[in-house]
Amino acid sequence: MLSRLPFRSLALALFVVCYGMLAFGLYLQHVKGIEPCPMCIMQRYALAVCGLIGLVAGLHNPRRGGQLVYGALLAVAAVAGGGVAARQSWIQWYPPEVSECGPGLEYMLDSFPLASSLPMIFRGAGDCSVVDWTFLGLTIANWSFVTFATILAALAAYLLRRDKNRP
């Protein structure tokens, strides 16, 4: 069924899904008060890159060769994001005795001037081993891994294996 959809539609759908997930992450952060950890921030970067690849690919609407390039770029970004999500899932299942993710937000703001705190805040302040939210028994990191592994990597594999006779 996916092979019958136009490339442009798939790429733009990827953009919408990625930025919808980023918006949900911002909702959890700013409305629900769940602080992202450094690994969460890295996963957001990977998701943003995947979404940008989808947007550029959808606007460009290349032929077969360009689709392969976008597919390869998407695969790299999805593997990177999935790797971070898998590592965070592992840390959540087997938490270390001492947090590997750095100090909390309050500590940074109390201990450092704002100019020094901003880069640290941008890197994330939460503890990577803490499970703050679950849905259907999966944590945010688990859902991130599922997204990267199935949706994004499957789409990249689809683009790389697409019928060679189609433009």
Mean pLDDT of 93-98: 72
Band of residue 126 on the pLDDT scale cut at 50, 70, 90? low
pTM of the model: 0.74
Band of residue 15 on the pLDDT scale cut at 50, 70, 90? very high
Band of residue 124 on the pLDDT scale cut at 50, 70, 90? low
What is residue 62's predicted lDDT score, i.e. its pLDDT? 87
What is residue 60's predicted lDDT score, i.e. its pLDDT? 92
Q: Which CATH class is domain 2-161?
A: mainly alpha
Q: Mind listing the pLDDT tens digit for each residue in 16-70?
A: 989 998 999 889 888 988 888 878 888 888 999 999 999 999 999 888 888 888 8
Q: Is residue 91 predicted with pLDDT exceeding 80?
A: yes
Which segments of the chain are extended strands (E)? 134-135, 138-139
Name the H helices within 94-149.
105-111, 114-123, 140-146
Q: Is residue 131 predicted with pLDDT exceeding 70?
A: no
What is residue 144's predicted lDDT score, i.e. its pLDDT? 82
Give the Cα separation of 64 and 61 in Å (integer): 10
Give the Cα separation of 105 and 117 in Å (integer): 9
